[in-house]
Structure 1
Amino acid sequence: MGDNEISKSLGIASVYNMFILGNAKNLEGPHINGRVAIGGDATINEACIGESLSPSKARADLIVGGKMTITNGSNKNGNSIIYNKDNLIKYTMKNCNSSSYQPVEKTIVNFKSAGRFLKSTSRFLATLDCNTVILIEDNNLKLIGTDDYFNIFYVDGYCLESAKSIDIIAPNSAKILINVCGEKVKMEKTDENDMLITRNSREPSLEEIKSMIWNFSELLDLEIIARGYNDFIIPGSFLAPWATAKMVKHPNIKGNLIFKDICGQIDSYDYSNYYEYGKAVDSYLFDKKLPKFNACVFE
């Protein structure tokens, strides 16, 4: 696959920590490391956005294509964008980049075009041949791949609902694609199911997280429930362009978050990786190449 690839495999969504094609409703206290783009309406309270980014008076770190209701919170390093100021319901967020007159009226992302590309990408990834095995013992999942370059897994959604742990065993340098089957998926951390997700039986490194993507090509409804605030950490990017995602008690997903709609409490951050030698470091965005495909075939 090495010679047949493209860069920015998630298209325009590649540079956004959270990319929502539709609406973000009743998001409470989201803490998002990077940039946020919402194609439809946004109702958000006490958000912290873009803390790992460098300061900029030009960059759009929060984009809303529909009605904007943003209460308190802070946009740490960039501008807030609304496509039409007639849709501004409320905006009391603080912009810390010293740029006035927020939010700014401007059109930046074509969400319809982005949605078509992301759906085509998701469909295509779901056609790739599996080259791995999965072992299940007492609801503990071991995803085992031996390819040095690209390991492709297929997991039934119901296995994630009952999983106590997931250990992804593969070469450290390999890209990981987990195709999750099913229209409804629930992932929950409980006292009985610790739901620890590891790489080679340890915490994944930054580079390993940036090489990992969960693809939900059939998913319509996703629910992720943490046991307590930020105690459920999921490494890797989520590509679920048809899904409505409900997040409970701030699960922390480290990667690109791509959904149709989202609600609840969600985080995507890591304090330990904010700064390196006084400079902001990269977020956990998927930055690897995926095989080329003809988008028209998968629309």
Structure 2
Amino acid sequence: MTEATQTIVMTGATRGIGLEAARDLLRRSPETHLVVLGRESSAARVLPRLREISPHVSTVGVNLASKAGIDTAAAHVEDLLDAGELPAMKGIVCNAGVHLSDALQTSEDGYELTFAVNVLATHLLLRRLHPHLEAPGRVVVTVSDAHFGDLRHTGGTMPAPHWKGPEIVSRPGAFDRSERVRSGGRRAYVTSKLGAIHLVHEWARRLPDGIDILAYNPSLVTGTGLAREMGGYAQFIMKWFMPILEVTPLVDTPPVAGHKLADVILGVTDAPTGSYIHRTAPARSSAESYDADREQALWDWMEQA
């Protein structure tokens, strides 16, 4: 049995492309100990499947919609590292995310739930764990080209993001008609993905040399469960039209997208820190996503959240 020499901590590894990436990572990197941060029930369900590939897998329960829950989970990882029960931490993967049918649901701390999980949780987890990363190390945050909000990238299924500053978009009901699927749930989703890219840019400025952070965009992926959350005609498109595109280069299945995510995690996909990875290579994210003042303001707000 290969001895584990590095630790990678990952959220969103219990289903979809995250689970596929976790399985691929363990096959290709037998020296990696994977720590899956997820809800206890979900983590317990996938743990036996991952351990069929490698014995170097453990789980830590976390509620990403709770600041206290994130703090407790991160503290547990720190204790394991400090005690030598985990090898040196070389990677953090923030792949978890939600896409809801409205923008009215709240986290345990009163934030709009999409923003809390897709943006705030990423920052809080990195704030606590990044001092333990050893160079060369890598942070990967899963984003979405839905943040463009245009016809080319979303096929008209998504509205444009509406960034009003973190103090506003973090609140339930921040958007006009927040109770509706498109103007509420989908707008909150695309806005949160824009916020996550802002966050990657600001962290890239602040992480020490040798620790890179990248935004990974899987683009269109079938069979992820997203259709259930999108509702309306978008659900029809995702369920019936998208599978037809599986035979084209335009979309990926979860195993293919998971392999590409594993490439980013393992450093096979080479890119400068702060880059936006579109499937397999660095690309430009939306023009709106490059705004240093907005990124600084988001950071300052997050530090006080």
Answer yes or no: same fold by TM over 0.5: no
Structure with the bigger percentage of helix: 2
When normalised by structure 2's length, the TM-score is 0.29
Structure number with the higher strand fraction is 1
